[in-house]
Amino acid sequence: MSYQPASTFITQYADDNGVPLSNGSISAYIAGTTTPTVMYSDIEGTEIGTSVSLNARGEPEVSGNTVMIWLADDITYKFVLKDSSGAVVWTVDDINVARVGGESGTVGNLTVTQDLTVAGAINAGPELSDVRPFKMGFTEWPYDFTPTAEAWTYDKINAHGDLITHHLKDGLPWQEAYDDDATYPAWIESAIAGRIAGTDPSKSVFLVIDCMDQNREFLIGEWGDEGQEARSGAWASRDFDSPEVIQAFINYSLNLIDRFEPDYFNYATEATEIYGYSADRFTKFVTFAAAVYSGIKAVHPDLPVMLSIILKTPGNAASLTTEQLFARVSNYTDIAGVSIYPYAFFTPFSDVRPDELAANWLTQIYSIAPGKPIAITETGWIGEDIVVPAIGLTATSTEEIQDQYLQMLMNTAFYLNAEFVVWWCIADFDEGWDSTLEGDPDAGLALVWKDIGLYDGDQQPRIALDTWDAWYARGLADDDEGIANVKNLNVLWEAFVGKLAVRGNIAADTIQANSSVTGRKFFALENITTDDLFINEVYNYGISTLVGNVTCLADLQAEEIAAEVLFAAPAIFIFKDDGTGAGYFDNVVASALLVTNDDNDAEAGIDILNVKSLTVSDSGTAIANIDNVSADDVQANTGDIDAFETNTLTVTGQSFLNLPTSAGASGTLWNDGGIVKVAP
Peptide bond into 348 cis (omega under 30): yes
Q: Which of 191, 205, 193 is nearest to 265 (CA)?
A: 205
Which residue type, as a one-letter code, is found at position 640? D
Rounded CA gap, 4 and 73, in Å? 7
Which range among 131-135, 236-240, 290-294, 599-603 shows the weakest confidence by mean pLDDT?
599-603
CA 89 to CA 13: how far, in whole Å? Answer: 10
Lowest mean pLDDT across 251-255, 318-322, 451-455, 553-557: 553-557
Instruction: Say if residues 618 and 598 touch (Cβ distance below 8 Å).
Output: yes
SS3 label, residue 633: coil
Quote the CA–CA distance of 486 and 484 in Å, as a whole number: 6
pLDDT on residue 42: 81
CA distance 134 to 202: 16
The mean pLDDT value of the chain amounts to 78
The CA R_g of the chain, rounded to the nearest whole Å, is 27
Angle of CA points 563, 568, 569, to nearest 5°? 70
Task: Note the pLDDT tens digit of each residue in 592-601.
Answer: 555 554 444 5
Give yes or no for a contact between 125 and 482, defined as CB atoms under 8 angstroms apart: yes
Tell me the C-alpha distance between 325 and 272, whole Å: 6
At 601-616, the pLDDT tens digits run 555 555 555 554 555 5
Say whether pLDDT at 106 is over 70.
no
**Predicted confidence (pLDDT) per residue in 166-193, tens digit:** 999 999 999 999 999 999 999 999 999 9
Domains of the chain (ranges; CATH) run 3-98 (2.170.14.10), 135-474 (3.20.20.80), 546-678 (no CATH)
Strands 601-617 and 648-652: parallel
Task: Write down the H helix ranges in 310-456.
Answer: 317-329, 342-345, 365-368, 399-416, 430-435
Any residues with CB less than 8 A from the CB of 81 and at least 6 apart, and which? 13, 21, 24, 25, 26, 88, 89, 90, 91, 495
- Residue 116: is its pLDDT beyond 70? no
User: In degrees to the nearest 10, what's the CA dihedral of 254, 258, 261, 266?
Assistant: -10
Percentage of the chain beyond pLDDT 90 is: 47
The whole-angstrom separation of Cα 499 and Cα 496 is 9
Query: What average pLDDT does the segment 390-397 reach?
Result: 92
At residue 112's C-alpha, the angle toward residues 107 and 116, to 5°, is: 95
211: pLDDT strictly greater than 80: yes
The conformation of residue 99, written as its DSSP 8-state character, comes to P
**C-alpha torsion sign, points 566, 567, 570, 576:** positive
CB of 248 within 8 A of CB of 234? Answer: no
pLDDT in tens, 468-509: 999 999 888 765 555 566 666 655 433 333 445 555 556 666
DSSP string, 484-532: EEEEEEEEE-SSS--EEEESSEEEEEEEEEE-SSS--EEEESSEEEEEE
Residue 171 and residue 224 in contact, taking contact as beta carbons nearer than 8 Å: yes
Q: HSE of 311 in the Cβ direction (CA atoms, 13 Å)?
A: 28
Q: Which residues contact 299 (CB under 8 A, 6 or more apart)?
A: 254
Band (pLDDT 50/70/90 cuts) for residue 356 is confident
Let me know how long the chain is: 680
**Higher pLDDT among residues 562 and 247, named by residue:** 247
Q: How far is CA 352 from the centre of its chain?
A: 24
* Residue 445 DSSP one-character state: G
Distance CA 422, CA 138 (A): 5
- Cα separations (Å) of 63 from 48, 54, 189, 422? 10, 11, 56, 32
> Nearest Cα to 421, choosing from 215, 172, 632, 165?
165
How far is it, in rounded angstroms, from Cα 266 to Cα 256? 12
Q: Across the strands, what pairs with 610?
A: 589, 630
The CA distance from 254 to 256, in Å, is 6
Which DSSP helix (H) or strand (E) runs through 195? helix 186-198
Residue 298 falls in which region: left (phi positive, over 0), alpha (psi -120 to 50) or beta: alpha
Is the CB of residue 157 less than 8 Å from the CB of residue 426?
Answer: yes
d(CA 491, CA 8): 14
The answer, yes or no, to whether residue 674 has pLDDT greater than 60, is no
Q: According to the model, what pLDDT value does residue 412 have?
A: 86
SS3 267: strand
CA distance 677 to 646: 9
User: Who has greater pLDDT, 480 or 374?
Assistant: 374
Nearest residue to 305 (alpha-carbon basis) of 328, 331, 287: 331
